[in-house]
Every structure is written in C-alpha cells, then in structure tokens.
C-alpha cells in the first residue's frame, strides 16, 4: 500500500439488501455476486427482440423466486451504479461489469413470466395481469432495458450519468404499466 492511500471497507444495508462497498480514494467499488457464470462470455448483441413468453425457460414452480432474484438484483445494481456515477472518478471496470449484469438480468426478465405463471400471486414485485394480456409489449420493455444497458456499455465516461438516467427511465416506464403501485 502506498503512503497517502486510504483504503477502508464499509458494510452497509440498502433498502433491497446488503452490499459491500470499498472506498479507494474517491472511487467506489460495489461487490455483488454476478449473474453471469464464470465461464460465460458476454454477448453484446440484443437477444430479446422477438422473444415469446411461451419460450420462457423457468419452471412454473420456480417463477416467483426467479422474478424476485432478477428484480432484487437489478435494484441492487442500480443503487450501486448510482453511487458510482456520483464518484469523481468511478472505477470503469466495475461500471462495465455492472452494466453487463444489467444486460444479463434484462435478458432473464421474460423467463419468469411464462403464460402458465399468470395465476401466481404477484409477490413483492407486484406483477400485474397486463403482463400476460400484452406479452409482446412486456418483452419489448425488457428489450428496451437490455438495449439501454448495451448503449451505456458503449458510452464513454462523460456520458455515464446520462446513460444511467436512460436506464432508470426505461425501468420506470415498465413499472408504470406492468407493476402494481406500492
């Protein structure tokens, strides 16, 4: 460790769970378990265009847990990225990794909403029946999130805040239509 470097680890709890944050000077690094498998190669091409809910791969009895995991993961990432965006010099490797995780989670959203899952209780995420009434629109919103995160991956550091605002707006647009008000 060089003299003058201040390194400290702080454990804190977010609304959606605990995240370990290490502060290295002014850069914040957020450590959250990855949704990507260690041997999985990140595919930067959109994958949700034309997806049909009938092709969802999550078993009906696992759909509720899948939804909860995906949306909780997205919430944690968005909180962590918000902190990174406010840092004077955010760690770009961490930002890129977290944006890749948003893409991966976006690709997982429709898999928890197979037509056979429409009778499940909405759980904490508040899934509304309109998801199954307008499945193409719902999948399109997940694809919008995927694309917003892919665009943010291609953006430079100066555009980080604007890119994250677009991701947030994409989430909000979906919530207005497909999630029950809290």
| pLDDT tens-digit readout, 11-41 | 222 222 222 222 222 333 333 334 545 455 5
| Mean pLDDT within 130-139 | 94
- Cα(17)–Cα(181) distance, rounded to whole angstroms? 21
Please choose, from the candidates 24, 53, 77, the residue with its C-alpha nearest in 3D space to the C-alpha of residue 127: 53
Measured from the Cβ of residue 165, the count of other Cβ atoms closer than 10 Å reads 13
Tell me the domains of the chain and their CATH numbers.
Answer: 7-178 (1.20.120.10)
* Biggest CA pair distance of the chain: 61
- Cα(43)–Cα(67) distance, rounded to whole angstroms? 22
Report pLDDT for 151.
Answer: 94
Please choose, from the candidates 155, 114, 154, the residue with its C-alpha nearest in 3D space to the C-alpha of residue 132: 114
The predicted model scores a pTM of 0.74
Q: 3-state DSSP: the chain helix, strand, coil percent, rounded to 5?
A: 55, 15, 30
Using alpha carbons only, what angle is made at residue 99 by residues 173 and 170, rounded to the nearest 5 degrees? 5
**DSSP secondary structure of 24-60:** ETTEEEEE---SS-TTPPPP-S---TT--GGG--S-G
- Cα(107)–Cα(51) distance, rounded to whole angstroms? 10
| pLDDT tens-digit readout, 59-92 | 888 888 899 899 999 999 998 888 888 887 888 8
CB 19, CB 98: distance < 8 Å:
no
């Amino acid at each position: 460790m060089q003299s003058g470097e201040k390194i400290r680890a702080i454990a804190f709890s977010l609304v959606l769970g605990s995240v370990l944050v290490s502060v290295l000077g002014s850069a914040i690094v957020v450590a959250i378990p990855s949704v990507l498998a260690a041997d999985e190669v990140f595919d930067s091409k959109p994958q949700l265009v034309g997806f049909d809910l009938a092709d969802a791969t999550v078993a009906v009895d696992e759909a509720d847990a899948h939804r909860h995991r995906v949306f909780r993961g997205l919430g944690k990432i968005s909180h962590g990225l918000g902190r990174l965006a406010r840092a004077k010099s955010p760690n770009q490797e961490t930002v890129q990794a977290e944006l890749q995780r948003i893409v991966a989670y976006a690709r997982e959203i429709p898999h928890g909403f197979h037509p056979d899952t429409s009778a499940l209780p909405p759980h904490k995420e508040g899934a509304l029946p309109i998801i199954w009434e307008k499945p193409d629109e719902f999948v399109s919103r997940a694809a919008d999130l995927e694309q917003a995160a892919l665009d943010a991956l291609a953006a430079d550091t100066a555009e980080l805040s604007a890119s994250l605002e677009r991701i947030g707006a994409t989430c909000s647009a979906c919530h207005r239509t497909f999630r029950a008000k809290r």
